[in-house]
Chains A and B, each alone.
Chain A
């Protein structure tokens, strides 16, 4: 059976500066395809660090990582970049957009890079995603002219553009009001249930976590539940 979307095996990571410090301690877990997982824990417990490892951006760790049955240990940076582009959608904790680009261009960029669809198709999909997140009027505004919450939603729209098998969010609703948080939660839920996309979201919102399929809790770099 292969309904495993992501497999973390004994992930251990140290920071060496300012002093040696074990930030992740033998973390092992599986996430099934179409599962909506919340990652919770106190500030500084290592949630973001773990997410960067899972996203293949941080390769400086020990242990095993498989996504979509692909072993991602020891791969070349360019291979990992291509893998991220196609399979992983990421929403950063501080919702980074390219400030010189419009909201629409920001959303289109990963798809243009992937280059599997025509520009017209990508543009249509990008509009659809922006609409989904309630931002159709902001499409042509430069990203640095949007509010924090709007930027975060553009970042979510961007994470969805390549229909990645896994969407990872580092407090994707951290800047949103309860209404928009609910909208984002519903979108994630829908993507997981209807399209079988896997969601891993770091959150400090207990209500958000409680409604998801499963909660993983980190405490001082250890998985406690």
Chain B
């Protein structure tokens, strides 16, 4: 328990050297605000990155996985003999997901799932007259697709939902439209790998700001896509699943995978580089902000050491009057803690200010306009907590030195 007498002495010390106390407070303020800024910025960058990625990427994807190693399965049976298979052919029994409806219904029952949609994706040639480009055609359910990815917001011309209404409609990526030299209401011919060719009308142009998508992707009605591939009603190549929290993707993919015969893949598994980037940025933020806090800690350590030296006579008198070592530690630790709390509070406000200002700095790349910034309570709380830990640790050593002062040697002069 902190004795009020010790508090009184601590306050007297602080108020007698306002300037030095302020310098100490400022060093904490600086440390805390930089900690908050660094972490807010990194989280902002991560969130933006993830958000951009999830504008086309589902949290979990279900598809028909082909066996990976298709060479020479005989070798596994006759281990001791050398088997040579020439010109091996792979027979694929099922392509895509033949009946997606029961799987979708089953997944929709999982409470953590926010959206499920099926897609029929294929590699095709887009043709307009003599110009011909290879690209991706995605047969989608426009309404569900939009609910999951917000695709409608990227529409440059036309209305996204028209896909559900117009079976002959095609929405083209803006870059692809450019390359093909087509505009709204023009016709584009699509040829599949199986050699089927059909013509569709451009009912919309989409611009996602991700060049590889804008330059190669087009959307049509999912049933039209099924017809193009000569598949039945329930057919899908991919089932896309979104979750409440995308961090749970691995765990849920595993859970769903137990009841589904197809490959259930989380975005983390499919896009390791995204997660790795996030993690690395987090590490950088932590390393930099802890270093700054450490520097602030040295500031406090210095100032408290100075205080102890300055007040060494008073410490001797207090001890002569019967103050114990523990009291002296309290007196100086309380000063550090007050400095820490003041610096922490001001630092949180200041950090918020810096983050808000940097958040206004223009930065126009992809779909962002200004530098990204996250405003999370957890950053503020952890900055304050780390700040207090640093202050207490930095204040403890000088306080201990003070508690070990030998009163006689000081008072004798």
Contact residues of A with B, CB < 8 Å?
48, 52, 55, 57-58, 77-78, 81-86, 90, 92, 94, 96-101, 105, 109-110, 112-115, 158
Q: Quick check: A52 and B322 within 8 Å, CB to CB?
A: no
Contact residues of B with A, CB < 8 Å?
3-5, 8-9, 12-13, 15-16, 313-314, 316-327, 407-408, 411-413
Q: From A52, A96, A100, A113, give the contact of B323 (CB < 8 A).
A: A113
Cα distance A158–B320 in the bound complex, in angstroms? 12
Cα distance A96–B413 in the bound complex, in angstroms? 11
What chain B residues lie within 8 Å of A98 (beta carbons)?
9, 12, 314, 317-318
Q: From A82, A100, A101, A105, give the contact of B322 (CB < 8 A).
A: A82
Distance in angstroms from B404 CB to nearest chain A CB is: 10
What chain A residues lie within 8 Å of B16 (beta carbons)?
99-100
Interface centre among A97, A100, A105, A114 (most CB of B within 10 A): A100
Q: Quick check: A81 and B13 within 8 Å, CB to CB?
A: no
Distance in angstroms from B284 CB to nearest chain A CB is: 45
Cα distance A105–B270 in the bound complex, in angstroms? 71
Q: Quick check: B326 and A84 within 8 Å, CB to CB?
A: no
Interface centre among B4, B412, B413 (most CB of A within 10 A): B412
Chain B minimum-CB-distance residue to A89: B321
- Say whether chain B's binding surface is mostly helix, strand, loop, or mixed: helix
Distance in angstroms from A168 CB to nearest chain B CB is: 10
What chain B residues lie within 8 Å of A94 (beta carbons)?
411, 413
Q: Quick check: A77 and B5 within 8 Å, CB to CB?
A: no
What chain B residues lie within 8 Å of A90 (beta carbons)?
320-321
Q: Quick check: A77 and B325 within 8 Å, CB to CB?
A: yes
A-B contact pairs, 14 of them (CB 8 A): A57-B320, A57-B411, A84-B322, A86-B322, A90-B320, A96-B411, A98-B12, A98-B314, A99-B16, A99-B314, A109-B9, A109-B318, A112-B4, A115-B5
What chain B residues lie within 8 Å of A78 (beta carbons)?
324-326
Chain A minimum-CB-distance residue to B16: A100
Q: Quick check: B317 and A81 within 8 Å, CB to CB?
A: no
What chain A residues lie within 8 Å of B412 (beta carbons)?
48, 52
Distance in angstroms from B319 CB to nearest chain A CB is: 7
Interface centre among B15, B318, B326, B407 (most CB of A within 10 A): B407
Chain B minimum-CB-distance residue to A159: B321
Q: From B4, B15, B319, B322, give the contact of A114 (CB < 8 A).
A: B322
Distance in angstroms from B165 CB to nearest chain A CB is: 82
Q: From B313, B327, B407, give the contact of A57 (CB < 8 A).
A: B407
Q: Quick check: B320 and A113 within 8 Å, CB to CB?
A: no
What chain B residues lie within 8 Å of A101 (beta carbons)?
12
Cα distance A52–B412 in the bound complex, in angstroms? 9
What chain B residues lie within 8 Å of A84 (beta carbons)?
320-322
What chain B residues lie within 8 Å of A58 (beta carbons)?
408
What chain A residues lie within 8 Å of B408 (beta carbons)?
52, 57-58
Additional A-B contacts beyond A52-B412, A112-B5 (13; CB < 8 A): A57-B320, A58-B408, A77-B325, A82-B322, A84-B322, A85-B322, A96-B313, A100-B15, A105-B8, A109-B5, A109-B9, A110-B321, A112-B4
Distance in angstroms from A94 CB to nearest chain B CB is: 7
Interface centre among B317, B321, B326, B412 (most CB of A within 10 A): B321
What chain A residues lie within 8 Å of B316 (beta carbons)?
96
Chain B minimum-CB-distance residue to A85: B322
